A = this chain, B = another copy of it.
Amino acid sequence: MSRPQTTRKKRANGVESRQRILDATVEIAGERGYEGTSIAAVSAKCGLPASSIYWHFKDKDDLIAAVIERSFETWLAAVVLPGEETGTPLERITVMAANVAKSLIDAPDFLRLGLMLALERRPTEPRGRTVFLQVRDIATQKITEVTGTVFPDLDEDALRTLATYAVAGADGLFVHREIHGDAVDLVAMFELHAQLVWDAATRMASRSKG
């Protein structure tokens, strides 16, 4: 029964070290931004030498991109998409918005780091920024499609406007909470946001139908 199952786990703590490095990086990058994230600081925080960081990651840009990717996966896992819906479409959308709000409270790193990178416009774009914008565009597209099934009378243009507005509002509310901290009831604000986007959609639909 001596399985080689333990083979790669006991072998060396490479996997754990990688996580430690990413943990330290996400913390420092969240405090100081892209340029402010120095390898020395990451090294000090995770207890591993710089050479170990460069063994696990090609360079600083690769490290930041890896942080973005991992924090995206963490956030994705935190979003509980409601299954087998009951209730009106508005209720479902509101529940969905509340879930997104909760996930952003539990796993804020992805959006925080992403927005920090997105606002910068350096000549040579960091890979992390590219990853963030791609993921974001996919999410917006998804929202567009879902909205299209709920409001089949809306044309592509209106759907895109609504999705853009929905995402932008989420960003702004998230920023507000990042600034003002736990005092902000993000879930309530997201529910209000869902309600308003719903209103806009219904108004647009009734107008386009005539």
Contact = CB atoms under 8 A, between A and B. Distances in A.
Given A165-B189, A165-B192, A115 B31 contact: no
A164 interface: yes
A200 interface: yes
| Chain A contact residues: helix, strand, loop or mixed | helix
Contact of A118 (B35, B171, B175): B175
Nearest to A189: B165
A36 B176 CA distance: 24
Contact of A200 (B119, B179, B192): B192
Contact of A168 (B34, B133, B189): B189
Contacts of A169: 165, 168-169, 172
Given A31-B121, A34-B36, A120-B33, A168 B161 contact: no
Given A34-B35, A118-B175, A196-B199, 9 more contacts: A30-B120, A31-B123, A133-B179, A165-B192, A169-B172, A171-B172, A196-B196, A196-B200, A199-B199
22 contacts: A31-B120, A32-B120, A33-B33, A36-B122, A115-B115, A115-B119, A116-B119, A118-B178, A118-B179, A119-B119, A121-B178, A161-B192, A164-B189, A165-B173, A165-B189, A167-B176, A168-B189, A169-B169, A169-B172, A171-B172, A195-B200, A196-B196
Interface of A: 30-36, 112, 115-116, 118-123, 133, 161, 164-165, 167-173, 175-176, 178-179, 184, 189, 192-193, 195-197, 199-200
